[in-house]
Chain A
């Protein structure tokens, strides 16, 4: 046959084609190498170093004392409890505030939605530190909110809105809200209007259509957003430090304390390792759950 005349019979050009295959693979790897190297240098090596440090006692020998202390000390238990409590509450409040907001945005016409989305994104683009201090100004005992509330007769005594859990939650919810709204908005926009029309056509009123069709189809976005918020909360530092007034000590605050106050790199490293492990565990479990959802067809 004419097609195989130039090469080795039935397997003509196999070696050449194979080489092309490999060249393409190497080219791709070449493109990825800057990112791979960066991750290696700024992520893997420091984390490995932390891991190593966490197993050293103060005198430089291998020991598990930092981990033992975490298991035994009530102070550490309280820190983990606070971390989870703040993360859960922040995520919960974000869902309660963010779901209706995302729903509202998803139902707006394009232009109005873009404009409203800007009001969500604008704070998102502002420095986190600036926003946190802005809340301090608003919330403090002689701050704007207390002054207005009292002068309007809404409450009489100055409310303790800052330097406690309340202040921390207000600040964190404000900062985390876009992380929930954005993926949720995306998944809501992806819900075809035809599903809602079909539901309505088949006899469901607006409320039934929402709970039977819209809400289940928006769940993947809600899970994704809640997961991002929760994981970000676990390692959050600035807002609890500024608005918590030393009363809300989360894991990352304790890590700073260990280093800056007690110069104890080992203890700080051990905390970091545990936080990392917990975060990875949650991410792993959540991805399993999300995948399960996709298998069940909720993705599309």
Chain B
């Protein structure tokens, strides 16, 4: 299982409908060779349908899927040669750990001695060396997860698919496994398509994230771009916390509640909203710092959350906006009280504008 030639995946016009409902609506997506790409979306968004179409378990209505140069959309699942980790692991309960991991090798008629070596190495890769003789029923959730992973990589597939593999684990183990999966991907280098509805997981692990909703690809970008420059309201709401402030356009400038906005550039066209992340706002203590937008308001609520403090501030137009600040860095938030008037600052570089949508 050394680093190998990974395959790019090329999806175009892929469509799957159930009655009048589109699970996949003309999806075009290029997964680069060796990339860790996450399909992120709420349940029912079509992300799992897309993964199942890649594995061959869902037959699309039309469209094309290519692994490298090969069109595989009509190929049965057992000939696709992709590794897959299922959400509930799907380990065969009547086989030992070693037999589970050896199963794909047995089907590929790998000689027994060679297979045994590969199995042991795969188990060592997932830190379960020596667990071969265990029964599946004797394993903990985290161990099952690792065995499922070992089984999916033991035959050195050039593409690895994962369907919410960490969703059944508790929080600490999940975070640990995220890092491990990330390292494993760096080591093995196979093209990986990972499905999750957990935005933090997607941000932690991915080279790129494809945000999917209503069967459509909403944005395909690096995690930082997805978080800091969301393309539309859905993404801004789904990933992280956001408040939306409706802007007025006045002769090439943008206004909020009568106050002009400092913006690096004003996009053309439609009506715009300002996306504000709670951690990008600061409570100003009088010393105004250059190109900063100032929003006056009244503190409505203060919530202590351990690592941060959250303040809800009511702005001039009645919108409640959240401000988050770490304990030590921001002395200002420690001093404010409910009912006090404050000024919130947002740097012009942190201004994110999205087109207004009819809702």
Contact = CB atoms under 8 A, between A and B. Distances in A.
Contact of B94 (A192, A201, A203, A298): A298
Interface string A173-201: 00000000000000000001011011111
Contacts of B78: 200-205, 209
A197 B152 CA distance: 13
B151 interface: yes
Interface residues of A, number: 23
A216 B86 contact: no
Contacts of B83: 201
Given A194-B88, A197-B57, A198-B90, A297 B104 contact: no
Interface in B78-120: 78-84, 86, 88, 90-94, 103-104, 107-108
A194 B107 contact: no
Contacts of B80: 201
A172 B144 CA distance: 46
A194 B165 CA distance: 13
A297 B136 contact: yes
A248 to B, nearest CB: 39
Interface string A200-214: 111111001100110
Given A197-B57, A216-B94, A298-B93, A204 B107 contact: yes
B104 A194 contact: no
A297 B139 CA distance: 12
A168 to B, nearest CB: 37
A198 B82 CA distance: 11
Given A203-B81, A296-B135, A297-B135, A198 B92 contact: yes
B155 interface: yes
B240 interface: no
B94 to A, nearest CB: 5
Contacts, number: 70
Given A217-B93, A297-B93, A199 B137 contact: no
A140 to B, nearest CB: 47
Interface in A264-290: none
B94 A296 contact: yes
25 contacts: A192-B88, A194-B86, A194-B88, A194-B90, A197-B55, A197-B90, A199-B92, A200-B76, A201-B80, A202-B103, A203-B78, A203-B79, A203-B107, A203-B108, A203-B155, A204-B78, A204-B103, A205-B76, A205-B78, A208-B107, A217-B94, A296-B94, A296-B135, A297-B137, A298-B94
Interface of B: 55-57, 76-84, 86, 88, 90-94, 103-104, 107-108, 135-137, 151, 155
Contacts of A216: 94
B135 A201 contact: no
Given A202-B104, A204-B107, A297-B135, A197 B77 contact: yes
- Which 8 A-B residue pairs are closest in the complex by CB-CB distance? A198-B90, A194-B90, A202-B104, A203-B107, A200-B77, A201-B84, A298-B94, A200-B78
Contacts of B90: 192, 194-195, 197-198
A3 B83 CA distance: 58
A298 B95 CA distance: 8
Nearest to B86: A194
Contacts of B79: 203
A197 to B, nearest CB: 6
Contacts of A199: 92, 103
A142 interface: no
Interface-centre pick from A195, A202, A212, A300 (highest chain B CB count, 10 A): A202
A200 B78 CA distance: 5
Contact of A297 (B55, B88, B94): B94
Contacts of B82: 201
Nearest to A206: B78
B155 to A, nearest CB: 7
Contacts of B92: 195, 198-199, 213, 217
A198 B135 CA distance: 18
A197 B57 CA distance: 8
B190 to A, nearest CB: 15
A211 to B, nearest CB: 12
Interface-centre pick from B94, B103, B135 (highest chain A CB count, 10 A): B94
A298 B80 CA distance: 29
Nearest to A195: B90
Contacts of B94: 216-217, 296-298
A208 B92 CA distance: 14
A44 B88 CA distance: 48
B86 A197 contact: yes
A109 B257 CA distance: 58
A166 to B, nearest CB: 38
A87 B108 CA distance: 42
A299 B136 CA distance: 12
Contacts of A217: 92-94
A209 B104 CA distance: 12
A109 to B, nearest CB: 15
B318 to A, nearest CB: 50
Contacts of B91: 198
Nearest to B103: A202
Contacts of A200: 56-57, 76-78
Contacts of A213: 92
Interface-centre pick from B55, B83, B93, B155 (highest chain A CB count, 10 A): B93
Contacts of A296: 94, 135
A198 B107 contact: no
A121 B237 CA distance: 54
A197 B145 CA distance: 17
A299 B94 CA distance: 8
Nearest to A203: B107
Nearest to B138: A297
Contact of B151 (A192, A202, A212): A202
Contact of A203 (B86, B104, B136): B104
Contacts of A194: 86, 88, 90
